Structure 1
Amino acid sequence: MQFRTPVPIPKSDHLIDYNSKIVSLGSCFAVNMSEKLDYYKLQNVCNPFGILFHPLAIEKLVNFAVSGKRFTESDIFYHNERWHCFDAHSDLSNSNKETLLESLNEILISTSRQLREASHVIITYGTSWVYRNIQSDAIVANCHKVPQKQFRKELLSVGEIQESIANTLKFIHSVNPNCSVVFTVSPVRHIKDGFVENQWSKSNLIAALHQIINCQLSIINYFTSYEIMMDELRDYRFYAEDMLHPNQVAIDYIWERFKETNIAETAYETMDAVATIQKSLQHRPFNPDSESHQKFEANLQDKISKMVSQYSFMKF
């Protein structure tokens, strides 16, 4: 007897393995998936400018990175005793203006290099709702707790999102034409926008994405994380306490679906070996000085040494 309706997901033609270099961009669900990639020691960089929720913010970041943009004092502002940038997450904000500018420009340089070297870019869109700064008439990535009266809330249309996605792809492929791009829509529910408004927002994202995907560009893929949450995991027991974010069980399940459709089976043996090392590193002995624990530690270090000798980029 079947108690759920599994979402069919075609296997990607551009599978990830330990030779792949991945750049993950987008919402907090991008972070959830990136943590899995990091756990298995795949080559992954996530959200250099912090969490970005909407397509225009991600498009702007990619454009800045590939065009050689340099941040100047005109790109930052002072609020609540810290310097901020409307194009970056508040995690990057700093009490020192020069330090912030230096950090932003260093990140742009490294992101440019990472996009040029990437085999895969994974982009997770969270919402179609955006905030436009009234004074500058620019859509921001983060409001940084600036009073809401300084912004106008807008919903991006399907056409605007489609144009933004096309621009993002154009920027990426202008410096890395063979890069595979995986799009997904975050299953996190943005109920602060309203129940109907959240569905409207997700619908616009999905409609725009499929307009692009239907162009049948072979290096573009869509992973159904939103659909898995809505159709396979249709129960509040798969949500965190806030009833908005997927809980760890849901994240683990969606990751397994991603693994079976987007990661090469040739990588599974190494993933299992890495997982064994990770679990061993979490082990807390009753007696650290015992002979058995010393043997355990020696065996673990031997496993790590062998793994690092094979994959020099791995750090444990």
Structure 2
Amino acid sequence: MIFRKVIEIRKPVRLYDRGDRFALWGSCFSTRLRDYLMGELYDVSDSPYGIMYNPLSIAQGMERLLSGRAPREEELILRDGRWHSMMHHGAFSHSSREVALQGMRLAFERSRAALTETDLLILTLGTAWVYEREGEVVNNCHKLPAEDFTRRRLSVDEIVSDWSRLIPSLIEQAPGIRILLTVSPIPHYRDGAHESRLSKAILMLSAERLTELFPDRVSYFPSYEIMQDELRDYRFYDRDMAHPSDQAAEYIIERFRECYLREESGPTLQRWARVRKQLSHRPLTDSRESLRAYYDSLLSTLLEIRAELPRDYLDREIQRIQEILSHL
């Protein structure tokens, strides 16, 4: 007997490996998947705007990237001593306008360069509720007064209309790209339980319509459905009873891995598996000489792996080890 529902996932057109390029845009669940892929040394880029929740903001951001419209100084606003962009997540905000703008432009150029070579663009849709300021949908409110915004819920037609215009332009600039849509498994209870369900339904209907319009390019991965039906127990939720627990997030990512990623092996990945365990533990010695020998060996192996698989993730780990060595 089977005592739980296992969600069936439609077989993808192709499998992906470390020779492919991924781009992940969307809600905070996309950062979980991004971190997993980076940690496994896949070639990954993310949104130049940070976390994005609604499909219209994601479309607007993508349209700007395709047209080369980089962030402008006049778009920044000053709030509580920090400069913000209504298009960007607060991680880009800074007390210096120049520093904030520089970070936004650097992320924009990196994503623009990566986009044309992207093989799989994963879009995690979080909510159909949007906030408008001066007639435009914003990506982040940055805690401005509520009266500055108009709140409304997008329609399926509105979402599909924007994306059906955008996808051909995206394919034109990135000819090999395929798009994987998924709905975030995280409910938005601040909108209300019923309103959150309606919002997710709109996102799922929009995704279905887009897969029908672009069957060779757009597919769907059921993150939300896995959370709701396979993991329908509060032990799979974090303490806020909304976000998936680490175990639940790992399970959803495992379902993604089984469906979309090709199994790979080889000496480089075997070395990385060993080194990754070392990176998560501090050596059990206080001897400066032993520590230096340990980190020298670790650094040497990381450099060898990076020569085979150049990744920003490895660059950060190499920099961290070099900083440790500089203090020994």
Common fold, TM-score beyond 0.5? yes
Q: Which residue of 2 aligns with 1:178?
A: 176
- Distance in 1 (alpha carbons) for counterparts of 2:257 and 2:6: 15
Secondary structure class of the residue paired with 2:116: helix
Partner residue, 1:118:
118
SS in 2 for 1:265: coil
> What is residue 191 of structure 1 aligned with on the other side?
189
Of residues 135, 138, 141, the one that matches 1:140 is 138
Q: Hey, what does 2:96 align to over in structure 1?
A: 96
Contact 1:158-1:208 within 8 A present in 2 as well: yes
Contact 1:9 1:224 in 2 (8 A): yes
- 1: distance between equivalents of 2:269 and 2:32? 17
CA distance in 1, matches of 2:13, 2:266: 17
Distance 1:291 1:90 in 2: 42
SS of the equivalent of 1:117 reads coil
Helix, strand or coil: the match of 2:240? coil
Match in the other structure for 2:307:
309
Could you tell me which amino acid in structure 2 is paired with residue 59 of structure 1? A
CA change 1:94–1:296 in 2 (3 A) is: closer
Q: Classify 1:230/1:273 alpha carbon distance in 2 versus 1 (closer, same or farther; 3 Å).
A: farther
1:266 to 259, 264, 267: 264
Paired position in structure 2 for 1:26:
26
Distance across 1 between alignment mates of 2:221 and 2:284:
44
Distance between the aligned counterparts of 2:302 and 2:42, measured in 1? 15
- Select the structure with the greater relative contact order (CA < 8 A; seq sep ≥ 6): 1
Q: Partners of 2:216 and 2:265 in 1: how far apart?
A: 23
What residue identity is the alignment partner of 1:123?
L
**Structure 1 length as normaliser, TM-score?**
0.91
Aligned letter for 2:24? S
Would the alpha carbon gap of residues 231 and 172 (structure 1) be closer, same or farther in structure 2, given more than 3 Å must change? same
- Deviation, 1:294, is 8.8
- Give the counterpart letter for 1:156 in structure 2: L
CA distance in 2, matches of 1:59, 1:268: 39
Taking structure 1 as reference, are residues 258 and 76 closer, same or farther at Cα in structure 2, changes over 3 Å only?
same
Quote how far apart the aligned CAs of 1:22 are: 1.1
Alpha-carbon contact 1:7-1:228 (below 8 Å) kept: yes
Going from structure 1 to structure 2, the CA distance change for 1:274 and 1:165 (only over 3 Å counts) comes to farther
For each residue in 1:150-209, what CA deviation from the matched residue of structure 2 results, as whole angstroms up to 9, or x when unmatched? 111100001111123323423321311211111110000100000000000000000011
Cα distance in 2 for residues equivalent to 1:288 and 1:304: 23
Distance 1:201 1:272 in 2: 43
Give the distance between the partners of 1:163 and 1:268, measured in 2 at CA: 45
Counterpart secondary structure, 1:266: coil
| Range with greater deviation from structure 2 (264-273 or 17-26) | 264-273
Indicate which of 259, 274, 277 corresponds to 1:276: 274
Aligned counterparts, 1:5-24, within 5 A: 5-24=5-24
Query: How many angstroms does 1:47 deviate by?
Result: 2.8
Distance 2:282 2:197 in 1: 45
Match of 2:65 in 1: 65
Deviates more, 1:285-294 or 1:118-127: 285-294
Work out the CA distance in 1 between the residues paired with 2:288 and 2:143: 53
**Alpha-carbon distance in structure 2 between the residues aligned to 1:294 and 1:3:** 53
Q: Does 1:223 align with 2:221?
A: yes
Please report how far the alpha carbon of residue 248 of structure 1 lies from its aligned counterpart in structure 2 after TM superposition: 0.5
Deviation at 1:284, TM superposition (A): 2.6
The 8 Å contact of residues 165 and 209 in structure 1, kept in 2 or not, is answered as no
1:227-266 CA-to-partner distances (Å, cap 9, x unmatched) read 1101100001001110110111001101110001010123
Q: For the residues of structure 1 that align with 2:100 and 2:303, how far apart are their CA atoms?
A: 38
- Which structure 2 residue ranges, 5 or more long, are not aligned? 318-328
- Cα RMSD over matched residues? 2.4
The corresponding residue for 2:105 is: 105
| Structure 1: 5+ residue stretches without partners | none
Aligned residues: 314
Aligned twin of 2:81:
81
Partner of 2:127: 127
Query: Counterpart of 1:233?
Result: 231
Percent of paired sites with the same residue? 32
Give the direction of change, closer, same or farther, for the CA distance of 1:85–1:300 in structure 2 (3 Å limit): closer
